[in-house]
Amino acid sequence: MTPEEIIKPENKVYARPRLLDDRNTHYCPGCSHGVVHRIIAELIDEMGLEDNTIGVAPVGCAVFAYNYIDVDWVEAAHGRAPAVATALHRLNPDRLVFTYQGDGDLAAIGTAETIHAANRGENIAIIFINNGIYGMTGGQMAPTTLLGMKTATTPYGRRADLNGYPLRITELLAPLDGTCYVTRQAVHTPAAVRKAKAAIKKAFQNALDGRGTSVVEIVSTCNSGWKMSPAKSNEWMAEHMFERYPLGDLKNI
Amino acid sequence: MKEEIIIAGFGGQGVLSMGKILAYAGLMNNLEVTWMPAYGPEQRGGTANVTVILSDSPISSPVLDRYDTAVILNQQSLDKFESKVKPGGTLIYDPSGIHHLPTRTDINIVPVDAMEAAIEMNNTKTYNMILLGSLLALRPIVDTEAVVKALRKTLPERHHHLIPLNEQAIAKGMELARK
Amino acid sequence: MKGNEAIAHAAIRYGVDGYFGYPITPQSEVLETLEDEQPWDTTGMVVLQAESEVAAINMVYGGASSGKAVMTSSSSPGVSLKQEGISYIAAAELPALIVNVMRGGPGLGTIQPSQADYFQATKGGGHGDYHLIVLSPATVQEMADFVGLGFDLAFKYRTPAMILADGIVGQMMEKVVLPPFRPRRTDAEIAAQCPWATTAKRGRGHRNIVTSLEMDSPKMEENNRRFQETYARIQENEVRFQEYYTEDAEYLMVAFGSVARICLKAIEDARAAGIKVGLLRPITLWPFPTKEIAALSRRVKGMLVVELNAGQMIEDVRLATEGRVPVYHFGRMGGMIPNPDEVLDALKKDFPEIK
């Protein structure tokens, strides 16, 4: 059978989302970013928001998110995405404005912007990819790197006395009066992907409904940075990352 | 016509607001005006001074080193500004709190006991308006009517009932200066 | 009203869409006046006190990305914090207005007036090859007028503009005629004026991306060439300056902002004493009136540059004169302000032939 014979409408159970560009990404094979991008592209289409969405891309691996999802995008300076999104939404209040940020962007250099945007209750959705490492710059320690985890800047493993503790920033954001929905998800199994999609959908809807700030953390893998195969990364994440970063809703009002 | 004025004292004595009302009164009389404070970090206490210039032609420098008229409310300011009054100019000062009296003989020196008068009026907040009255008695650069208009413009509406009191203070200051 | 207040009122009247700021002396009256006026109820203007100058300038970046007329204001230490964002705004070719009411530095320095951020404002400030259009107001009237001028130029050239004021003109009060009210632009007008803006696609059919990133070096060089072409057009068309008493001047003072007014008073005194001094006041510090100063350097015996700094604009004056005449500097620093007598004394000291 040729591929053309197999790909018939009646056989088709899944297609590339319309708003996810048909091009190779710069992401490593097995990286969680691709799955999250796909979820976002599907949701924007399903929710009829193609013409009404502005994404804010971070500095980090997702810096080129604007090349993959077919909506308007602003590429922010490192850590500043929540400030950029604040102005975009306040000046264009009927649009869906979301940020897409990694752990370095959101939880290190952009901590102030993150906490204050959430505390003001900006009507935006924050998608937070936490893979415990700086992927783009070559695998250095992130604020969320686990104790003992080896990175380019913690070659003998992260030590609390030298490097402090893995930061659970999502737990910091949940008690803020400005947040309405704070959740931690993953995309390592089909079931997890479905849950993550439902969470991001809720976050988008909250932003549209003006209910305050929604934060969806996606505990993710970085198989290149972790120096593991994609499958092994998923196992390692479930075994180690979830202990420090347990999945589930932290706030849902 | 051009009048270059320095008003100097402690913060909280109404130095800046006296200058402001004078500047607004100048505006009411269609004069060019500048109001330039030497601003400090404190809200109260500390020294405060403001340079006010009223002129019938455009004003160049808002910052000056010689003045036609000085209104001096403390010793520090007297020490600093006495020498900077132009010969033939006017120096008005409140003697309360002044230990070393001004000594120049080539300027017109007028003590005005404004603090005492303000206490007599049962309202120490009228202090700066008494001094403004004295200034206008000696240097009639704007008319009282313009000052009242300026008060109406600068005071928040909830304080407009105080305008008659301020008018009395100005009259009192004029009377003191003429003595 | 105060210079800082004039900026706030002019912004509302111009139809500015958003202001994002953080309090710092001596410019806090801009944010205070805007909050007091509550323009969100009248013109729909957004006013937000940000958590930091860094956040504020990135809010400006975000707002400008969507084609809105947005601005921020601060004073020297705060403007240093904003440099990252200003570089991004320049690189993303976004129109925006930044106000710096300068205070003395370096470091925390002092809250008193200064002009020590001339280099920072005119030579870029942040990283990379870029310029801001830098307007230097000398009066409260110009504080008001340059809000509109700054935005007009910023949108015309798609580049950020800065009002570089000193603490004197920010804090002083004088007469001002405010510009008339004009409505904020509609979404349709913004879409027409700024087809590049990230307003969401809104039926446009293709996506807009605002970014300063280009990993392909030949393309990034092309981007830089485009920026430089824009700067060349600005230099060609937008030089603004004012001359006083230059027709018969034997000596020339060059000063910007309020210092130019102090010099003017010194010149009035000098002229009364028969000394023929003139003044050139650059209104745009970038683009700099290089040609005009070059022309004057062929006519005068020497120049005195007066600044509230250790000698910054003098470098541009010397470049313009190409060594034809001696150029001296008189500066006060740390928040000290020279008076007209000091300026005149400095001129006489540098040019002993003046009696």
Find the closest chain B residue to C340 by CA distance: B64
Whole-number pLDDT of residue B100: 95
Q: What are phi and psi of A19, to 5 degrees?
A: -95, 0
Q: How far is Cα B71 from Cα B89, in angstroms, rounded to an integer?
A: 11
The answer to whether residue A245 is domain-embedded is yes
Whole-number pLDDT of residue B41: 58
Task: Write out chain A residues lying below 8 Å of C43, CB-based.
Answer: none
Q: Is the pLDDT of residue B45 over 90?
A: no
DSSP label of A145: P
Task: Write out chain C residues lying below 8 Å of A95, CB-based.
Answer: 199-200
Q: How far is CA C233 from the centre of its chain?
A: 18
Secondary structure of residue C155 in the 3-state scheme: helix
Domains contained in chain A, number: 1
Give C 181-240 residues with CB within 8 A of chain A.
Answer: 198-204, 207-213
Q: Quick check: A106 and A79 in contact, CB under 8 A? A: yes
Q: Quick check: C300 and C329 in contact, CB under 8 A? A: no
Domains contained in chain B, number: 1
Strand-strand pairing, C241-244 and C277-282: antiparallel
Cβ pair B62:C261 closer than 8 A: yes
Choose the mutation target among C168, C174, C253 for the interface with B, i.e. most B CBs under 10 Å: C174
Whole-number pLDDT of residue B43: 54
Task: Write out chain B residues lying below 8 Å of C258, CB-based.
Answer: 61-63
Q: How far is Cα A88 from Cα A207, in angstroms, rounded to an integer?
A: 13
The structural domains of chain C, ordered by start, are: 3-187 (3.40.50.970), 241-350 (3.40.50.920)
pLDDT in tens, A158-208: 999 999 999 999 999 999 999 999 999 999 999 999 999 999 999 999 999
Task: Write out chain B residues lying below 8 Å of C112, CB-based.
Answer: 39
Task: Write out chain C residues lying below 8 Å of B59, CB-based.
Answer: 174, 261
All residues at 6 or more sequence positions from B16 whose CB lies less than 8 Å from its CB, including other chains: B37, B48, B50
Q: What are phi and psi of C84, to 5 degrees?
A: -55, -50
Cβ pair A87:C46 closer than 8 A: yes
Q: What is the mean pLDDT of chain A?
A: 96
Provide the CB-side half-sphere exposure for A131 (13 A, CA). Answer: 31
Mean pLDDT on B3-21: 93
Low pLDDT (below 50) residues in chain C: none
What interface predicted TM-score (ipTM) does this complex get? Answer: 0.94
Q: Tell whether A75 lies on the interface with C, counting CB pairs under 8 A.
A: yes
End-to-end CA distance of chain A: 52
Q: Quick check: C72 and C82 in contact, CB under 8 A? A: yes
The answer to whether residue A93 is domain-embedded is yes
Q: What is the mean pLDDT of chain B?
A: 92
CATH code at position B27: 3.40.920.10
- Calculate what percentage of chain B has a pLDDT beyond 70: 96
Whole-number pLDDT of residue A14: 87
Domain residue limits at A186:
29-252
Number of CB atoms found within 10 A of residue C128's CB: 12
Q: How far is Cα A150 from Cα A142, in angstroms, rounded to an integer?
A: 11
Q: Calculate how close chain B gets to C15, using CA atoms only, in Å.
A: 26
Tokens of C101: 């009411």
Domain residue limits at B29:
2-178
pLDDT in tens, A43-68: 999 999 999 999 999 999 999 999 99
Find the closest chain B residue to C24 by CA distance: B41
| Residue among C112, C168, C268 whose CB faces B60 most closely | C268
Q: Is the pLDDT of residue B44 over 70?
A: no
The answer to whether residue A16 is domain-embedded is no
The answer to whether residue A99 is domain-embedded is yes
DSSP label of A238: I
Tokens of C293: 């100063």
Q: How far is Cα C103 from Cα C337, in angstroms, rounded to an integer?
A: 12
Mean pLDDT on A127-148: 95
Q: Comparing C-alpha atoms, which of C91, C39, C48, C94 is closest to residue C73?
A: C48
Number of CB atoms found within 10 A of residue A180's CB: 22
CATH code at position A145: 3.40.50.970
Number of CB atoms found within 10 A of residue B107's CB: 18
Tokens of A55: 């994404």
- Please state which of the ranges A5-9, A112-116, B86-90, C74-78 shows the lowest mean pLDDT: A5-9
Q: How far is Cα C246 from Cα C261, in angstroms, rounded to an integer?
A: 15
